[in-house]
Structure 1
Amino acid sequence: MGNITLYGIKNCDTVKKARRWLDDNAIAYRFHDVRTDGISRAQVEQWLDELGLALVNKRSTSWKALDETTRAGLTSDKAADLVLEQPTLIKRPLLDIGESRHLGFKPADYQHLFNL
């Protein structure tokens, strides 16, 4: 496995759990805070191509704050613009292990990914 990057925001409880799990299992990774470090359109478009609209966390406060028309008319093109405007719309954490990307955190899923 090459470079591993965990995308999220520092104060998200699920991101904290994922970071703790990676640390406890001695897995080297880089943390990228989407709010402070930013994300590019190319990244967001790649994530949407690979993960689809699952990239958008529809349980987030950011999502709930959007108007009904925006939520109802969500497409990949519109999602890219929304995520770039409000990176907190990304389902967190987003784990990039080089050859694939994974959303959310469940210890069992991470154990399987890292063959532990």
Structure 2
Amino acid sequence: MRIYGLKNCDSCRKAKKALPEAELVDVREVGVSDELLARAHAQFGDALLNTRSTTWRNLDDVDRALPPLALLKAHPAVMKRPFIEAGDQLFIGWNKGIEQEVQALL
């Protein structure tokens, strides 16, 4: 199981604490594979973008106009976090419902 996010993100830290066996992958340092990003975008669409983040607010209009996958490759911190890969299932965000779903897979 992998948690894709930022090591200083509160939601990612909560997910890692609840899922101690999961590997936390810092997307700024390591990134996310093109294949996994494409799969996530196919499942979640534009919900994969965190348009309320500081990163998004600091983007110029040219970057905001990029296709979502190109934008995520150029600015991985704009991805909604945490992004969790658990086997063949994907999850975005962190709340009690998602925590229960992920825990049920363990």
TM-score category by the smaller chain? 0.7 to 0.9
Gaps of 5+ in 1: none
Percent same amino acid among aligned pairs? 33
Aligned residues: 105
Are 2:47 and 1:54 equivalent residues in the alignment? yes
1:33 aligns with 2:15: no
Task: Give the residue type in structure 2 aligned to 1:20.
Answer: K
TM-score by length of 2: 0.86
Match of 1:13 among 7, 10, 15: 10
- 1:64 aligns to 2:57 (yes or no): yes
In structure 2, relative to structure 1, the CA distance for the partners of 1:37 and 1:68 (3 Å cut) is: closer
The runs of at least 4 consecutive aligned structure 1 residues that moved more than 4 Å come to: none
Higher relative contact order (CA 8 A, sep 6+): 1
- Structure 2 unaligned spans of 5+: none
Distance, in Å, in 2 between the alignment partners of 1:113 and 1:35 is 24
For normalisation by structure 1, the TM-score amounts to 0.79
Larger Rg: 1
Give the alignment's Cα RMSD to 1 decimal.
1.9
Contact 1:91 1:103 in 2 (8 A): yes
